[in-house]
């Protein structure tokens, strides 16, 4: 058995401490879930499970809060996962596995993240006062656990991807986002567009603050709040839907932890191989832009057709709600695919990459 996506939506993405600063993840998720179910014509009591990616919450089971806030039946227990940036695609991959195994027929899957509401974290060290920290370790070896921005700058140097090239990509991302119709967005708190997209010019980009090496605030995605979900269903349910896309393949694979920007490459190559496709076969590609250099490096290494990558803008023009970002890519892809296959791919800290291949 295979699985299909019959609806996908997302909230606008808003920078941290912006329009969604007061909203918890379940507040962001509930209206998106309502829209997904309405699009599909599926009643809440048909939902078997909800899989939620959340990276910055306080633990517990935020998927249960989301399920209850969205008015799903109390029997929907909710499954929370955390694979950082890759989690949104992983949630959809897990939903696909549940449906393919016959364990469920209708599964809501995606991510919700409130960077604004993330808790303060303290590490307990015996004999010392609790120590605050912002980022947990992603490897057991500090020398192979780089700061993400510094790693992006090192990658740019190694691959000779100039600051000008990174800025050109960021300018393209903003311009395309501003010009695009984005039917996947569900208005939340009266907001119907991503809050960060702007008229980025070469002059403005040139004045951007340097974060590390050639990486600047113009070429790195901002921390953000947002939610996105897809409805993954069995072939029997998909046969009655007005629109459906088949999940051809999904992969999440590890790579070198000290070069996280290239971590999507094995996953991209794996799903293309499973689908019997080459990059030129892809009609649309949604590639995460945590950093402009990361997107450019993946495009070059996988020979992705440039004219089909992030044609309506990317994360540089909207922001990065970590646990939701992969699902945002899938929601965007779902609304663009018409006649051919499409790819969503994302990198995650610790040298992890996730990719999803869809086809009509």
**β-strands 342-348, 210-212: how paired?**
unpaired
Q: How confident is the model at residue 326 (pLDDT cuts 50, 70, 90)?
A: very high
What integer is the mean pLDDT of 24-35? 98
For residues 314 and 154, what is the distance between their CA atoms, to the nearest angstrom? Answer: 22
pTM for the full predicted model: 0.97
320 is catalytic: yes
Q: Quote the pLDDT of residue 140.
A: 94
* Residue of 85, 174, 302, 335 marked active site: 85
Instruction: From 336, 337, 338, 333, select the one nearest 355 (Cα to Cα).
Output: 333
Q: How confident is the model at residue 341 (pLDDT cuts 50, 70, 90)?
A: very high
Q: Quote the pLDDT of residue 59.
A: 83
Please determine, for residue 147, whether its predicted confidence score (pLDDT) is greater than 90: yes
135 vs 264: which has the higher pLDDT: 264
* Residue of 26, 174, 320, 335 marked active site: 320
**β-strands 4-10, 245-254: how paired?**
antiparallel
Q: What is the DSSP letter of 222?
A: P
| pLDDT tens-digit map of 268-316 | 999 999 999 999 999 999 999 999 999 999 999 999 999 999 999 999 9
As a whole number of Å, the CA-based R_g of the chain is 19
What is the H or E stretch that residue 153 is in? helix 148-159
Across the chain, what does the average pLDDT equal? 97
Domains in the chain, start-ordered, CATH in brackets? 4-118+220-359 (3.40.47.10)
Tokens of 251: 């992969």
CB 156 within 8 A of CB 300: no
Residue 339 has φ and ψ, to the nearest 5°, of -120, -15
Q: Quote the pLDDT of residue 74.
A: 98
Please determine, for residue 47, whether its predicted confidence score (pLDDT) is greater than 90: yes
| pLDDT tens-digit map of 52-67 | 999 999 789 999 999 9
Q: Quote the pLDDT of residue 58.
A: 76
Instruction: From 57, 45, 121, 172, select the one nearest 164 (Cα to Cα).
Output: 172
| pLDDT tens-digit map of 222-262 | 999 999 999 999 999 999 999 999 999 999 999 999 999 99
Q: Quote the pLDDT of residue 62.
A: 97
| pLDDT tens-digit map of 162-218 | 999 999 999 999 999 999 999 999 999 999 999 999 999 999 999 999 999 999 999
What integer is the mean pLDDT of 316-344? 97
What integer is the mean pLDDT of 33-50? 98
335 is catalytic: no
Q: Quote the pLDDT of residue 274.
A: 97
């Amino acid at each position: 058995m295979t699985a299909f996506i019959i609806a996908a939506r997302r909230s606008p993405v808003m920078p941290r401490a912006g329009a969604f600063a007061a909203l918890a993840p379940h507040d962001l998720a509930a209206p998106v879930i309502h829209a997904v179910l309405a699009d599909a014509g599926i009643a809440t009591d048909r939902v078997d499970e909800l899989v939620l990616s959340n990276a910055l919450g306080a633990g517990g089971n935020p998927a249960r809060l989301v399920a209850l806030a969205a008015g799903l039946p109390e029997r929907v227990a909710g499954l929370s996962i955390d694979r950082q940036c890759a989690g949104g695609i992983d949630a959809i991959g897990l939903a696909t596995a549940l449906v393919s195994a016959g364990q469920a027929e209708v599964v809501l899957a995606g991510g919700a993240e409130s960077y604004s509401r993330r808790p303060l974290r303290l590490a307990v060290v015996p004999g010392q006062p609790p120590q605050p920290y912002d980022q947990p370790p992603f490897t057991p070896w500090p020398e192979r656990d780089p700061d993400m921005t510094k790693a992006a700058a090192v990658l740019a140097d190694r691959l000779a991807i100039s600051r000008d090239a990174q800025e050109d990509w960021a300018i393209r991302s903003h311009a395309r986002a501003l010009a695009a119709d984005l039917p996947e967005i569900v208005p939340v708190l009266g907001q119907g567009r991503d809050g960060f997209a702007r008229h980025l010019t070469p002059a403005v980009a040139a004045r951007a603050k340097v974060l590390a090496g050639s990486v600047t605030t113009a070429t790195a995605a901002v921390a953000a709040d947002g939610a996105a979900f897809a409805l993954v269903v069995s072939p029997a349910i998909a046969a009655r839907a007005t629109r459906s896309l088949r999940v051809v393949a999904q992969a999440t694979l590890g790579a070198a932890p000290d070069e996280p920007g290239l971590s999507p490459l094995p996953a991209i190559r794996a799903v293309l191989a499973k689908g019997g496709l080459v990059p030129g076969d892809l009609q649309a590609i949604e590639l995460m832009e945590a950093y402009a250099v990361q997107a450019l490096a993946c495009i070059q290494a996988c020979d992705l057709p440039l004219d089909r990558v992030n044609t309506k803008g990317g994360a540089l023009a909207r922001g990065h709600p970590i646990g939701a970002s992969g699902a945002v890519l899938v929601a965007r892809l779902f609304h663009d695919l018409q006649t051919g296959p499409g790819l969503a791919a994302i990198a995650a800290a610790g040298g992890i990459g996730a990719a999803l291949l869809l086809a009509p």
